[in-house]
Amino acid sequence: MSYLPSVKKADGSVLVTLLPIMAAVLVGFTIIGVALPVLPLHVHRDLGFNTFVVGLVAGAQFAASLVSRIWSGAYSDRHGPKRAVVAGLIGAIAAGLLYLLSLAFVRLPVLSVVILIAGRAVLGAAESFIITGAVSWGLGLVNREHAGKVIAWIGTAMFASMAFGGPVGTMLYSCAGFIAIALMTALLPLVVLLYLVNMPAVHPHPHAERASMKSVLRAVWLPGVAAALASIGYCAILAFSSLLYIDRHWHPVWMAFTCFGFALILARTVAGHLPDRFGAAKVALAFVVVQAAGLVWIGFANTALIASVGAFISGLGYSLVYPALGVEAVRATPQNNRGLAMGVYTAFLDVAMAVGSPLLGCLGGLVGLGGVFLASAAVVACTAGIAGRLVCRR
C-alpha cells in the first residue's frame, strides 16, 4: 500500500478525493439494500419459516453491526482505514458466498437458514468496517477543516445506495430468485476491491500512544447522545410514516420516506460544507430545530401533501445534524483515535434505532400515529439543548 501522511494539502477537490471511498460505501450499502426487501420473501416463501425467523434473519445483520462498531474503529486506527475498508469488502464477499452456500441446502431449511443467518452476521460486521474505515480514510486524506464534508458526503453515498438498492433487489429476485442477490453480494465488492488497490492509504500509527476507551467515550458521549436523540425522528419516519398514510387513506404510502430521503441527500450535497464553515455545533443546533418543526408538521397534517412537506422539512433538518455532531466527536479526540471515535459515535445511533422504534410503537398504540411524530419531535428537540451546550463549550 502507498501511504500518505495523515494531514493533507488543502488544494484540489475534496469531492474528487473522496469519490473512490464513496464508491466503496455505495457498494457496501447497495448489497445491504438489495437484500432487505427480498429476505422476508426468501425465508418465508422459499424456506417456509414464520415471521419470527424472518425477523431473526433480518436482525442478525444489525446486531452484528452494533457489536463490531468499536472493534472496527480500533482496527482502523491500528492498521489503517484503507485496510479496514478492504477487510469490510472481503467480509461482504464472504457473506455473499455464505448466501450461495445456504441455497445449496434449501431442502434442509433449518441448515439453510442457519447458514443464511451466519451470512447476515458477517455482512453486518463488514458494514461496520466499511463505513468506519471509509470515514476515517476520508478524514485522513483531506485537511481537518473539511471533516464535515467527509462525514456528510460519505453518509450521502450510504443513503443513496439504500434508496435504490431496494428496487434493484426486488427486480433481481423477481427475475432470478435469491441466487441473483447472492451473486451480486459476492461479486460487486470484488470489483470495488480491485478499484481501490491503487488508492493512497493513510499511514497508520500502530505504536503511537492511544487514548483509553474511557477517555474516548468521555469525549464522544455528549455528541453521541445528541445524535441518538435526533435519530428518533428518523426512526419515526422510517417505521411509521407508511402506517400513518395507510391509516388515513393517503397515497402513495411511500411518499413521506421518499421526500425525507430526497431532502437529506439534496441538503448534504449542497450544504455539506456548512459545519466546516460556521461551526459544527452551531449548525447542529440550527438544523435540529428544523427537523423538530418538520415532525410537528407531520403530526398535525390532515392531508398527504402537508405530511409529505413535513417529511421534506424533517429530512432537511436531519441531513446535517448527524455529520455536524460527528465533527464534534472527531475533533474532541486525538487524531490517532478517530476510527475508534467514529465507531463509538455510530454505536449511539445503532442503539437509538434498536430501542427507538419499539418504544415509539408502544406509544403509538396509546396516543395514535400522529402522536408518534409529535412525541419524536419532543425527543429531537432535546438535541438542541446538548448542541447549545457544545456551542458554549466551544
Distance CA 284, CA 388 (A): 9
Q: What is the CA radius of gyration of the chain?
A: 21
* Residue burial 97-127, b: 16+ Cβ < 10 Å; e: rest: ebbbbbbebeeebeebbebbbbbbbbbbbbb
Alpha carbon separation from 282 to 58, 382, 392 (Å, rounded):
37, 15, 10
Compute the Cα dihedral for 251, 160, 337, 122 and give only its sign: positive
DSSP for 221-265 reads HHHHHHHHHHHHHHHHHHHHHHHHHHHTT-S-TTHHHHHHHHHHH
| CATH number at 3-199 | 1.20.1250.20
pLDDT value, residue 204? 65
Q: Exposed/middle/buried for 393, CB within 10 Å: 0-12, 13-18, 19+?
A: exposed
| CATH number at 213-393 | 1.20.1250.20
Q: How many CB atoms lie within 10 A of CB 335?
A: 16
Compute the Cα dihedral for 245, 246, 250, 256 and give only its sign: positive
Q: Exposed/middle/buried for 366, CB within 10 Å: 0-12, 13-18, 19+?
A: exposed
Phi-psi region of 344 (alpha: psi -120 to 50; beta: other; left: phi over 0): alpha
Instruction: Supply 170's cell numbers.
Output: 426486488
3-state secondary structure of 160: helix
Where, residue-wise, is CATH 1.20.1250.20 in the chain? Answer: 3-199, 213-393
pLDDT value, residue 198? 75
Backbone torsions φ then ψ of 142, nearest 5 degrees: -125, 170
Beta-carbon contacts of residue 236 (< 8 Å; ≥ 6 apart) = 295, 356, 360, 372, 373, 376
Longest dimension (CA), the chain: 62
CB 85 within 8 A of CB 130: yes
pLDDT value, residue 162? 63
Distance CA 144, CA 365 (A): 46
Q: What is the pLDDT along the chain (394 residues), one digit of tens a residue?
A: 444 444 444 434 677 777 778 877 887 778 887 887 688 778 888 888 876 787 678 767 777 888 888 888 888 888 888 899 999 999 999 999 999 999 999 999 999 999 999 998 999 899 889 888 888 888 777 766 677 777 777 777 777 776 677 678 878 888 888 999 999 999 999 888 888 877 777 766 555 555 567 778 888 899 999 999 999 998 888 778 878 888 899 988 778 877 888 898 888 888 888 888 888 999 999 999 999 999 999 999 999 999 999 999 999 999 999 889 988 888 777 767 777 888 888 888 878 877 787 788 888 888 888 999 999 999 999 999 999 999 887 6
Distance CA 76, CA 136 (A): 7
Distance CA 298, CA 280 (A): 27
Angle at 366 between CA 362 and CA 371, to 5 degrees: 90
Q: Exposed/middle/buried for 41, CB within 10 Å: 0-12, 13-18, 19+?
A: middle
CB 130 within 8 A of CB 28: yes
pLDDT value, residue 8? 44
Angle at 288 between CA 282 and CA 290, to 5 degrees: 110
Distance CA 277, CA 293 (A): 24
Place of cell 451480486: 184
